[in-house]
Amino acid sequence: MLNYADQIKEKVRKDLLNLLEGVRGKKNLVVDEDLAGPLGLVSKYSTLQQYGVDKVFFLERKNIDASQKNVVFLSRGESADRALAIAEQIKRLQQESQIEHEFSVFIAPRRTLVANKIFEEAGVLGDISVEEFPLYFLPMDVDVLSLELEHSFADLFLHRDPTCIYTAARALMLVQQKHGLFPRIIGKGDGAHRLMEMLFRMRTEASVDDKSTKSTLGTLPSAVIESLIIIDRDVDFGTVLLTQLTYDGLLDEVLGIKDNQIEADTAIVGPPPGQQNATTQSALKRKLTIDSSDKLYEQLRDANFAVIGPLLNKVARRLQTDMQNRHSNMTTAELRQFVNNLPGLQAEQQSLKVHTGLAEDMMKFTRNTTFTRVLEIQQNLAAGVDPSTQHDAIEELIAKDTPLLTVLRLLCLESCFFGGLKAKDLEHFKTLILQAYGYQHILTLDALERMQLLFVRTGNIFSNATSQATTVSKTNYNYLRKTLRLLVDEVNESEPNDIAYVYSGYAPLSVRLVQCVLQKQYLLSFTKSSSSGSSSSKSQPPSTPGISSAAHGWQGFEDALKAAKGQTFNKIQKGADEAVTKARAVLGGGGTGGKKTVVVFFVGGITRAEIAALRLLERDNPIRDILICTTSIITGNKMIDAALEARTFGGYGE
Amino acid sequence: MSNPTVDWGRVGDRYYRKIKLYEDVFDPELELENYIVAGAPYAGAIALYRDESKLQTWRTTQSAKTGIDIYSCAGKLIRRINWDKGSIKGLGWSEEEKLLVVTEDGVVRCYVDLQNDFSQFSLGHEAEEYGVKSCKFWASGLVALLNNNRLIAVTQYTNPRPKLLAAVPTESEIHSWGIIPPQHTNSRSVEVLLAIGQSIYVVDTSETEDRMLQNGPFHHISISPNGRFVALYTEDGKVWVVSSDFQEKLSEYDSKAKTIPRDVQWCGNNSVALAWEDEIHMVGPSGASLKYFYDSWIHLLPDVDGVRLITGDACEFLQKVPDETEEVFKLGSTAPASVLLDAVDQLEKKSPKADDNIQLIRSNLDEAIDVCINAAGQEYSIPWQKQLLKAASFGKSVLDLYNSDEFVNICETLRVLNAVRDYRIGLPLTYDQYLRLTPARLIQRLINRHEHLLAIKVSNYLRLPTDKIYIHWACQKVRTSKEDEDTICKTVVKKLSDKNGVSFEVIARAAYDEGRATLATQLLNYEARAGKQVPLLLSMNEDNLALDKAIESGDTDLIFFVLLQMKSKLPLSSFFRMLSTRPLASSLVEASAASKDRSLLKDLYYQDDRAIASSNLLLSDALSSPSLSTAIDKLKLSHRTLAESKDPSAVIHQKHLVETQQLLKAQESLARDLDTSYIGLSLNETLNRLIRNGYSKRATKLQSDFHVPEKIYAWIRLRALVSARNFGELEELAKARKSVIGWEVYFEEILAAGNTRLAGSFVSKCSHLTAQQRSEMLVKCGLIVEAGRELVKVKDLPGLEALRDKTGAGADGVEVERMISGLKGGRR
């Protein structure tokens, strides 16, 4: 597999350090809070110090001091607010400070006209040097790249601001520049379509731009990348609203993972290493980095939470025997081997302790009656049970003052899965919610409606026939549940054989769509056999590459796609020089059988459970690697939170 | 073929050659001695300006206007720039062949492309006040000496920032001065050498240092091209060469001249040329010299590897003979390369000596070939180039293995060099100059001279991009063509349509700048990059088109940019009208206005008749209101906005808004009556708090006012009472016959609160459960006996036994045991 993640990490790091090096001497660094986390993924504070960074400030706190002559701002440039804040801070410092500062502004990912205009209007443009910091993809893991645009979901679906699609297109252009054109671009959804169009447009534009740099772009399709599959989030909101049941999915739901870090009580995970003796800090929070550098976590993360207990036990026992081996008689060679392994074992033990703590904490959470109730409602809705049977349960949750996010998630889930709520029901629930959580949520509910998450049912969604129109306005889960077998009754959680394991029985539609392209045989096997007997389909091996390669794109699943929201497309990118392409195909691109990469891009965010499902897909697909790209990693809560009105009446201090 | 050594001269142990590049350069009428002459580096153009300090014979035929004339080295007039901006104190060139003109009052004009196109900047206040005395230039910058002895440096011309250098004694006279370019100094900033009094001062940005020399005053200071040596001309007619850090004196030469030379310049890095009116002394490293005499006035134009000599009728190049050339051509040379050259000569004569020669140098043949190839590169004479390449080729044929890359390379380069050395072009580049200039910049020079055809040929030959040339050609066409606009557009498009990577935007801008707006729009349509079209369209006042193009590009930054411009330009109503057909632009305006410009948003919603959005906006305002009364006012407004709307959801909204106000008012009066704050709580929370604080009646009233469903209310009451540990009231509740939410939840909540006794009392009311379930519930309360009794009622013997096993010994155990035996007995 091409190691995109490391390449990108290295590049971002170098770009950043080069920029810092460009400012001579010591400097104070001001970052915006959105960017601070992502930067932590690529470089450590100590590295920044080596490059002359004295203190780090957050732009939002407005507390930059005049301790250094050089002040460096590092911020995202797409939003005008940031540029305004920077201009304001510069003016403040210029007025207050005794010394004459040198200001540098690094804007990620590109210098914008709007920021320029703002600096100009604020009268600071002449005093600052503005540089671009080309930060696009950030490596979340070896196979996951994220733009880490935290607000991309709200921007896309609430504010209808497609900036992040443009950023995504530029990011993908960089991938194409390095590895050649995507030979085929397949996708579903309007946002996806937009992204595809932009990629084509940028390609023609690049041929005008790049004349001097003589890049390889615009000439040849890639030899290492097979295709790009783009899935728009709004094709499948439903999946996100379900509670993720993989280990790291659940961690994200419960504790929240931000930039591969979680914050947990030291009481649960133990104090950080090296501070074991400090007894004073008992109730402190501790930040933990969790990524695939932790071998244990790598084994755990994608497993269904139900099997985490046994998995941890197994590891614990193995570690114990490994450690106990030292008491048995060993030759000196064995002893040396053991000593060499010791640091690894110790690290593993440490990590085992952490994850056992976390798993126990989660277990406590999942045993909570509310959690089980919510899960039960979710499973029923996913299974297509008449939603009105669930309403009493939801009402009870409201009456018991369950967090609003949880309640809204359930209502939105119903709305997504069943094409809306009946007008009477919706009105009823709205009243209940306003009474229970406050009338400020008129705004919340309205926002959810605008996001197409909560709406009144129109027409009869229960019909199984696909509509005649080429695109439908809402995804028809009821139809897709059968055609793509979203529901898998007996799912093996410990040794997963279907992606449905990530939601304990529900297969995420988004990933099923990817399977429509990559695992046609597998999908067809049970959609056909579902009439004869579904149990036989499970034993069937996944697709054999020989057959599936005959069909391209969406072929074979056109009907299913018609039932999902948004445009469907399948485009081929040809090289400018046809002859060269052919020649290369003859010379070696074809027969060598090297693994090719499929890039899967989720516009608007992907859940960790979906990532786990895609990894299973990769495991069952020996001829391809899958590189997962997204605008951000989301959860159902983050999705609803975008709409949530945080203010309340009151606080007037009477 | 004349002997190549004929123009060689010997200085010490080195040879120098003076190559006649062009003849009949200038109009014989032109009196070169009356002109200031400046030559661009790398054999670039020559600028002539009439020296104002010299008398001028008045002629009617000449135009009275003064001007700067730009000639090629071959004397072809490229451009005449009219000048009426006052006295010129500095005339120089940059590496990119930008002409720089500095006037007395400190204005610098930078002519970019040998044409009339210039940018202008000022050296600042001080220069304006005291006036510029003279200027020195280096590859990318200049230093100006003011009349008050201050120095101002400019390090680049694209974004010039004039900077004052450190101060020097103002009163003293400066005999001469020179600069060391930044790339050759330790400090990486420009250093200026000033001859003041007996000594030399070194000035940079921060300090001035006296070098403590005693032999001044120095009338000339010249710094070698590599910045390592300085040549000084002393009062007593001597030339000193010292290292540029003044630590070492390298050589001394006595010119024995009575008059001070007019100019002292370095010729390459190892000799100095002194020029009087009609005489030149070449001074080599060890003080050896060579003299040339002329019969007319000479100008020295220094270059990196030699000096150009300009006289009225010739342009010559004086340089050290390159080592390879010397090796091949030196009389009596026995170097292998020389023998190889001879061999090819013999070969042409069909003499067997050719082979003898080859055998003679067999062991060094590859080296000989290398030297021949390189010597060919250094040669101006085309026949000799051919002969040398022939020799190399012959040598190659003898060897089994030889890497011909360099051979091919030199052949290619020579073709290009010979083409541009042609007198019609007039760029007599040496091979070294060509390498330093780079092919890309050579092409730029050709473009600047409007030699488009040659530029394209050279580009194609060297496999360089040609788009710039086409664009420049098209711009020129657009600017100067007399044809009508359609024809121009057609010609341009026809020529460029199959060329990859041509930016029509640049051409369109040229057309627009020329006042041909329609042509500009026509051309702009061919631009592939939507983003690039936008700025021009904006400046052409084609706002709507610009916005559409921006939307097409998908670049939201660009869309915003256009929108900002339009908003400041258009009246609000037309701005909104323009938005109404463009949903993307509209939503962008909405998103950005939400945080910054709420009044704009208000107007937008009003204009668009979006009642609910308007109302929501007011609701949001209400939430941020500083006081309750303003919040309620805002809510009223919000409510009124919806009054006229017929939208069914607006009706629901209205209902909710009324309730919001009601609740706030109710909470206000509660706060007044009960001395506790309720404001800001939701309805359910209010009820909860009321019940907890023991105001059940008020709660019930509120419930009925707001039609809170019974079930919900029952839950609220239960949870509130439990959390207040108000078990008395809960006991009262237990007396009711029915519960809308069932009795089980009462049991659970109370049990969770730890009151097992009370919890137990609810068990019997759960009549829909089985006895076993009830028994289990009782066990949870610790009421083993009661649990047993439930089981006895249904005669569940195994259940009882299980209960006994769980309970173990003790009073309860005994009792259960008794029940078991009782049941057993009963059965028996």
pLDDT digits (tens, 9 = 90+) for B699-719: 999 999 999 999 999 999 999
pLDDT of A540: 41
Q: Among A201, A204, A432, whose Cβ lies nearest the Cβ of B712? A: A432
In chain A, which residues have their Cβ closer than 8 Å to the Cβ of B749?
none
**Tokens in use for A588?**
């070696």
Q: Among B503, B619, B671, whose Cβ lies nearest the Cβ of A208? A: B503
Cβ separation B528–A198 shorter than 8 A = no
- Reply yes or no: is the peptide bond before residue A109 cis, omega within 30 of 0: yes
**Residues 613 through 632 of chain B touching chain A, CB cutoff 8 Å:** 616, 619-620, 622-624, 626-628, 631
> CB contact, 8 Å: A398 with chain B?
yes
Which of A393-407, A552-566, B557-571 is predicted with the least confidence, judged by mean pLDDT? A552-566
pLDDT of A460: 57
Distance separating alpha carbons of residues A554 and A518, to the nearest angstrom: 9
The model's confidence at residue A628, banded by pLDDT at 50, 70 and 90, is very high
Helix (H) or strand (E) holding A288: strand A285-289
The DSSP code sequence of B262-284 is SEEEEETTTEEEEE-SSEEEEE-
Which of B359-368, B694-703, B797-806 is predicted with the least confidence, judged by mean pLDDT? B797-806
Residues B625, B634 contacting (CB under 8 angstroms): yes
Picking from A110, A372, A439 by the largest number of B CB atoms within 10 A of its own CB, the best residue to mutate is A439
The mean pLDDT value for A277-283 works out to 48
Residues A580, A220 contacting (CB under 8 angstroms): yes
Cβ separation B556–A194 shorter than 8 A = no
Q: How far is B707 from chain A (nearest CA, A)?
A: 10
Q: How far is A447 from chain B (nearest CA, A)?
A: 10
Residues 6 or more apart whose CB falls under 8 angstroms from that of A149 comprise A155, A164, A167, A631, A632
Cβ separation A435–B706 shorter than 8 A = yes
Cβ separation B596–A80 shorter than 8 A = yes
DSSP assignment, residue B481? -
Tens of pLDDT, residue by residue over B436-484, are: 999 999 999 999 888 999 999 999 898 888 888 888 888 888 888 888 8
> CB contact, 8 Å: A648 with chain B?
yes
Coil/strand/helix, residue B134 = strand
Model confidence at B169: pLDDT above 80: no
Q: How far is B400 from chain A (nearest CA, A)?
A: 32
**Pairing verdict, β B14-23 and B314-320:** antiparallel
**Pairing verdict, β B238-243 and B249-254:** antiparallel
Model confidence at A547: pLDDT above 50: no
Residue at token pair 């949903």: B583
Q: Among A161, A207, A654, whose Cβ lies nearest the Cβ of B587? A: A161
Which of A350-359, A587-596, B31-40 is predicted with the least confidence, judged by mean pLDDT? A587-596
pLDDT of B744: 85
Integer angstrom CA distances of residue A336 from A329, B708, B795: 13, 74, 70
Model confidence at B214: pLDDT above 90: no
Chains A, B: CB contacts within 8 A come to 159
pLDDT of A603: 94
Q: Which residue of A has its CA nearest to B558?
A: A113
Q: Which residue of B has its CA nearest to A651?
A: B680
Residues 6 or more apart whose CB falls under 8 angstroms from that of A359 comprise A247, A308, A309, A312
Tens of pLDDT, residue by residue over B485-532, are: 888 888 888 888 777 667 888 888 888 888 888 888 888 888 877 778
The model's confidence at residue A429, banded by pLDDT at 50, 70 and 90, is very high
Mean pLDDT for chain A overall: 83
pLDDT of A274: 55
The mean pLDDT value for B50-61 works out to 66
**Tokens in use for B304?**
């990196």
Model confidence at A27: pLDDT above 80: yes
Residues B428, B22 contacting (CB under 8 angstroms): yes
Continuous H helices in A51-162:
80-96, 113-122, 152-157
Picking from B498, B560, B641, B653 by the largest number of A CB atoms within 10 A of its own CB, the best residue to mutate is B560
The mean pLDDT value for A423-438 works out to 92
Distance separating alpha carbons of residues B385 and B688, to the nearest angstrom: 103
**CB neighbours (10 Å) of residue B183?**
12
Residues A228, A596 contacting (CB under 8 angstroms): no
**CB neighbours (10 Å) of residue A346?**
13
Integer angstrom CA distances of residue A173 from A179, A196, A202, A203, A219: 10, 11, 8, 8, 13
In chain B, which residues have their Cβ closer than 8 Å to the Cβ of A393?
none
Q: Which residue of A has its CA nearest to B683?
A: A435
pLDDT of A109: 87
The mean pLDDT value for B118-127 works out to 88
Model confidence at A219: pLDDT above 90: no
Rg (CA), chain A: 26
Contacts of A196-201 with CB under 8 Å at 24 or more apart are A196/A230, A196/A569, A196/A571, A197/B554, A198/A165, A198/A166, A198/A169, A198/B554, A199/A169, A199/A172, A199/A173, A200/A571, A200/A573, A201/B530, A201/B553, A201/B554
Tens of pLDDT, residue by residue over B745-798, are: 888 888 888 888 888 888 888 878 888 888 888 888 888 888 888 888 888 888
Tens of pLDDT, residue by residue over A137-153, are: 988 888 899 998 888 99
Cβ separation A163–B712 shorter than 8 A = no
The model's confidence at residue A529, banded by pLDDT at 50, 70 and 90, is low
Residues B201, B168 contacting (CB under 8 angstroms): yes
Model confidence at A583: pLDDT above 70: no
Cβ separation B680–A650 shorter than 8 A = yes
Model confidence at A509: pLDDT above 90: yes
**Tokens in use for A249?**
């999915």
pLDDT of A275: 52
Residues B502, B496 contacting (CB under 8 angstroms): yes
In chain B, which residues have their Cβ closer than 8 Å to the Cβ of A437?
682, 684
Q: How far is B712 from chain A (nearest CA, A)?
A: 5
Mean pLDDT for chain B overall: 86
pLDDT of A210: 55
Q: Tell me which amino acid residue A553 is.
A: G
The mean pLDDT value for A29-37 works out to 86
This prediction's pTM: 0.77
Model confidence at A632: pLDDT above 60: yes
Residues A376, A389 contacting (CB under 8 angstroms): no
Buried/exposed code over A22-33 (b: 16+ C-beta within 10 A; e: otherwise): ebeeebbbbbbe
pLDDT of A406: 94
The model's confidence at residue B116, banded by pLDDT at 50, 70 and 90, is confident
Distance separating alpha carbons of residues B32 and B35, to the nearest angstrom: 5
Distance separating alpha carbons of residues B126 and B163, to the nearest angstrom: 11
Helix (H) or strand (E) holding B735: none
Q: Which residue of A has its CA nearest to B594?
A: A159
Tens of pLDDT, residue by residue over A293-348, are: 888 888 888 999 989 888 889 888 888 887 777 667 777 887 888 888 888 888 88
Model confidence at B51: pLDDT above 50: yes
Continuous H helices in B609-695:
611-623, 628-641, 648-674, 683-692
Distance separating alpha carbons of residues B625 and B569, to the nearest angstrom: 33
Name the more confident of B271 and B61.
B271
Distance separating alpha carbons of residues B442 and B434, to the nearest angstrom: 8
pLDDT of A414: 93
Tens of pLDDT, residue by residue over B597-614, are: 888 888 888 888 888 888
The model's confidence at residue A209, banded by pLDDT at 50, 70 and 90, is low
pLDDT of B792: 83
> CB contact, 8 Å: B539 with chain A?
no
pLDDT of A194: 93
> CB contact, 8 Å: B597 with chain A?
no
Which of A214-228, A362-376, B728-742 is predicted with the least confidence, judged by mean pLDDT? A214-228
Residue at token pair 């996951």: A144
Cβ separation B556–A650 shorter than 8 A = no
Q: Tell me which amino acid residue B232 is.
A: L
> CB contact, 8 Å: A190 with chain B?
no
Tens of pLDDT, residue by residue over A444-468, are: 999 999 998 998 887 654 444 444 4
Residues 6 or more apart whose CB falls under 8 angstroms from that of B228 comprise B184, B243, B244, B269
The model's confidence at residue A278, banded by pLDDT at 50, 70 and 90, is very low
pLDDT of B307: 92
